[in-house]
Amino acid sequence: MVFLGTCMVLHVIRTEPSLHQPMFYFLAMLALTDLCVGLSTVHTVLGILWGVIQEISLDSCIAQSYFIHGLSFMESSVLLTMAFDRYIAICNPRRYSSILTNDKIMKIGVAILCRSSMLIPPVIIRLKFLNYCHPHILSHSFCLHQDLIRMACSNIRFNSIYGLALVISNLLLDAVLIIISYIMILHAVLAIASREERIKSLQTCVSHICAVLVFYIPIIGLTMVHRFGRHLSPWVHVLMGNVYILFPPLMNPIIYSIKTQQI
């Protein structure tokens, strides 16, 4: 369903000329990110569920953790860009098309790709040089950085500090900026005299708000389980891990298909 949903959204945006607008270009970036998340995890998730895979090599595990964390940062960046898009569309509609030109959208896409892929390598590469003496049992059906450093008996101070800095400078900062953008949007909408116009303006943001919640709630839940849930059943860790990986890519096509009239 993840593959069908994301591919369908990408196909509709590509083939329908009326959807060749900034809002839908950003939606295509979101769908492409979701598709890559599925491709980077499907072989281990299904392999474990079908009983085909029982173990994974360290190199494969490190590579998978790079893609999972990089794609999470990419999705967060795309959601922030979509909040910026909604802010311009509502607060400065007359200059919308002149601000978000195709050239600027391409530059934004390249910036998102660079931000998501170039900040992570230092902490991921270091995983290769750690000694792993604790039980080599992963908490999830895929590899995460925090899971790997939990098994290490080397000094993980750099990984812990740098990893926390990445989370703060990417996920947390993006969340704060999204909240600020919606505060400014709400302030602009409340200044509109017509009640119908206010409702119409807010309805254009519903899909994006749902996508933000669908992305951030599983991340917060998984973080809480890793931080405070060591005494919980392994089933809880597995469940939260699969929700974190599968829920946003599954729900985003459904949300945008239902709530976006053009699609």
Q: φ and ψ at 125, to 5 degrees?
A: -60, -35
pLDDT by 10s per residue, the chain, length 263 = 999 999 999 999 999 999 999 999 999 999 999 999 999 999 898 888 898 888 899 999 999 999 999 999 999 999 999 999 999 998 888 889 889 999 999 999 999 999 999 999 999 999 999 998 888 888 888 999 988 998 898 889 999 999 999 999 999 999 999 999 999 999 888 887 678 888 888 888 889 999 999 999 999 988 888 878 778 888 888 888 889 999 999 999 999 988 887 88
Sign of dihedral through CA atoms 47, 53, 55, 58?
A: negative
| Residues in Cβ contact with 257 at an 8 Å cutoff, skipping those fewer than 6 apart | 5, 9, 263
Place of tokens 């569920």: 49
Residue 50 DSSP class: T
Dihedral sign for Cα atoms in the order 204, 176, 180, 84? negative
φ, ψ dihedrals at 132, nearest 5°: -115, 105
H/E stretch holding 69 reads: helix 58-91
